[in-house]
Chain A
Amino acid sequence: MRTFWVLFKKELRAFFISPVAYIVLALVMILSGYSFRAALSVLESAPSEGSIVTWIFQPNWFWLSYFFVFPLLTMRLFAEEKKMGTFETLFTAPVHAWQVVWSKYLAALLVYCVLWVPSYINFQFVDWITAGAVEIPAGALKGSYLILLAMGMFNLAIGCFASSLTSNQIVAAIVSFTLSLLHFLAGLFIMVVGRKVSESFVDITNYFASMEHIRTFTSGLIDTRPLVYYTSLALLFLALTHQVIEFRRWRP
Chain B
Amino acid sequence: MIEVQDLTKQYAGRTAVDHVSFKVEPGEIVGFLGPNGAGKSTTMRILSGYMPPTSGTARVNGFDVFQQSIELRKSVGYMPEMAPLYTEMRVKEYLNFRAELKGLSGKKLRFRVGEVMELCALTDMRRRLIGNLSKGYRQRVALADALVHQPPLLILDEPTNGLDPVQIRQVRELLRSLRPAHTILLSTHILQEVEAVCDRVIMIHRGRIRAVDTPENLTRKLRAASVVQLEMQGEGEITNLIESLPGVRKATLDTVQEGWLYLSVRVEARHDVREALMELALKQQWKIREMHWQLPSLEDVFVDLAASDPSK
Contact = CB atoms under 8 A, between A and B. Distances in A.
B82 interface: yes
A22 to B, nearest CB: 14
A88 B85 contact: no
B176 interface: no
Interface residues of B, number: 29
Interface stretch (B30-38, B49-57, B224-232, B262-270): B49-57
Contacts, number: 63
A85 B88 contact: no
A17 B88 contact: yes
A94 B50 contact: no
A92 B73 contact: yes
Contacts of A248: 50-51
Contact of A92 (B10, B50, B87): B50
A6 B104 CA distance: 11
Central interface residue in B76, B78, B100, B101, by most chain A CB within 10 Å = B101
B163 to A, nearest CB: 18
Given A86-B84, A249-B51, A6 B45 contact: no
A159 B151 CA distance: 37
Contacts of B100: 6
B183 interface: no
A6 B80 CA distance: 22
B84 A251 contact: no
A212 B73 CA distance: 49
Contact of A88 (B50, B74, B76, B103): B50
Nearest to B129: A17
Interface string A64-97: 0000000000000000000011101101111110
A95 B72 CA distance: 11
B70 interface: yes
Contact of B102 (A14, A17, A94, A251): A94
B101 A88 contact: no
B101 A94 contact: yes
B52 A89 contact: no
Contacts of A91: 49-50
Interface string B77-105: 01010101111100000000110111100
B88 A14 contact: yes
Interface string B3-36: 0000000100000000000000000000000000
A96 B86 CA distance: 19
Contacts of B73: 92-94
A3 B102 CA distance: 8
B84 A84 contact: yes
Contacts of A17: 88
Contacts of B54: 251-252
Nearest to A7: B101
Nearest to B70: A94
Interface in B29-71: 45, 48-52, 54, 70-71
B52 A249 contact: yes
Contact of A85 (B71, B80, B102): B80
A85 B82 contact: yes
B6 to A, nearest CB: 15
B79 to A, nearest CB: 9
Nearest to A17: B88
Contacts of B86: 14, 84, 86
Interface in B83-134: 84-88, 97-98, 100-103
A146 to B, nearest CB: 34
Contacts of A89: 78, 80, 84-85, 98, 142, 145
A196 to B, nearest CB: 49
Interface in A227-252: 248-249, 251-252
A48 interface: no
A246 to B, nearest CB: 10
A31 B100 CA distance: 40
A68 B163 CA distance: 43
A92 B71 CA distance: 11
Contacts of A10: 97
B10 A93 contact: no
A18 interface: yes
Contact of B101 (A14, A85, A93): A93
A60 to B, nearest CB: 36
Central interface residue in B51, B73, B142, by most chain A CB within 10 Å = B51
A6 B97 contact: yes
A252 B102 contact: no
B82 to A, nearest CB: 6
Contact of B88 (A2, A6, A18, A251): A18
24 contacts: A6-B100, A7-B101, A10-B97, A14-B86, A14-B88, A17-B88, A84-B84, A85-B80, A85-B82, A85-B84, A88-B50, A89-B80, A89-B98, A89-B142, A91-B50, A92-B73, A92-B80, A93-B73, A94-B70, A94-B71, A94-B102, A95-B101, A96-B70, A252-B54
